[in-house]
Amino acid sequence: MRCRSRLQPARFRAARQSAASVLIAWLAVCCVTSQRAAADGIAPGEWKLTETIVMNGNKTPVQTRTRCLSPEQAADTAATFSPEYRTVNSDCERVEFNSSATALRWRIRCTGQLDMDVAGDFTFDTRRHYSATIVSKGATAGREVVNTTVSIEGEHVGECR
């Protein structure tokens, strides 16, 4: 019995590491997709993105990068800020989707080896600024192993270089 209790934390540690890998893949999809940009009020051009990530209660250093948005990419928030949700080992469905010229909200749930719930909430407040929050929660065998919030501030900085 004593040996079993020592092994159990190792299994949970492995599950958390696996869940973190899946989450990182999800965040990559979400963040890359969210970089493309926006609707009716968002300007094409160079955007500075500032991202703050809190994973399982731990805040990571703020990350800043730029992204060039073509006029075509800046034309449709629903298409460019919503992630694709194809998976191999799980069943995913979009359970919420609301889009307007100034806001976008979506939510995806996946079930399988790792159950995931990922929600995005975007506010396009001016032609030159937007903010977004993406919340990802993952559970294995009913136990939460991932709880991540990504906050994104997008600021238009000029023409693409």
Nearest to 102 by CA among 35, 34, 41: 41
Range among 10-19, 50-59, 67-76, 80-89 with highest mean pLDDT value:
50-59
Cβ pair 34, 152 in contact under 8 A:
yes
Give the residue numbers spanning the domain of 27.
2-158
> Cβ-count burial of 58 within 10 angstroms (0-12 exposed, 13-18 middle, 19+ buried)?
exposed
Between 93 and 24, the more confident residue is 93
103, pLDDT greater than 70: yes
Taking residues 27-41, report their average pLDDT. Answer: 42
CA distance 133 to 131: 7
pTM above 0.75, yes or no: no
Residues sharing a CB contact under 8 Å with residue 49, sequence separation 6 or more, in sequence order: 35, 64, 65, 66, 67, 152, 153, 154
User: What's the number of domains the chain is made of?
Assistant: 1
